Amino acid sequence: MEQRKYRCRYRLFVAEGDKIVREALASSLTVECLMAKEEWLRQLPAPLRAKARETLTVNDRELAQISTLKTSNQTVALLQIPEYDTDDKELLSDLSLYLDKVQNPGNLGTIIRIADWFGIRRVMCSEGCADPYNPKTVQSAMGAITRVKTCPADITTLQRLKSAGLQIYGAFLQGENLYRSDLASQAVIVMGNESQGIGKEAAQLIDKRLYIPSYPAGTPSSESLNVAAATAIICSEFRKPHQP
């Protein structure tokens, strides 16, 4: 399932490693096949082991053959790809992310992990985004893929949410200082492509353009932040007023 065409054909994706596989087994996702070393399976609680539709014991050589990692782990699982849609009721009641052609699987996985950390349960991916179930994305998400709903979306999704009264924010290199902005608790945060930023169509729907100022102001600095790093900073600011 390393290639997207096979993930699409069989509606399955790969999860590897003790932590990710345990979280997958504890989640609502369907685990079609669990493959693991005998000693790992012995330590796995029976209720988790029972979640897999099929369980196979494999040795180091077999694990290395099926692993997508350079250094294979103790376990690999095949999971059904869940089908999520853009649930407007859920989107209108909380904070969500819309990713406009974020193409790096590692960045996408990290953003999903960030969303999980900040309690954001929906990440919308435009056409042109990396596949949320790419093995590199799944590894970068570190189990968050089992809790955060990633769903396909397009410009009409943003238009519909905007028409329903939801505020649309976007990350830009020029705009209102993030740290001085009034931020809504129900909103969509749009993050753009690694090199091109937010596309023209999505940009036209942005209610407020936000930028993250470098420090100290007026001194030479990096041209921009990595999209995942910028997402973490922005999500933190949106959640700050609601911290206990």
Domains and CATH numbers, the chain: 4-80 (3.30.1330.30), 88-242 (3.40.1280.10)
Question: What mean pLDDT, rounded, does the chain reach?
Answer: 92
Over the stretch 166-212, which tens digit does the pLDDT of each residue have? 999 999 999 999 999 999 999 999 999 999 999 999 999 999 999 99
Confidence of residue 73 (pLDDT cuts 50, 70, 90): confident
Q: Residue 146 CB: number of other CB atoms within 10 A?
A: 20
pLDDT of residue 223: 80
Closest CA to 20 of 36, 6, 38: 36
Calculate mean pLDDT across residues 84-108.
Answer: 91
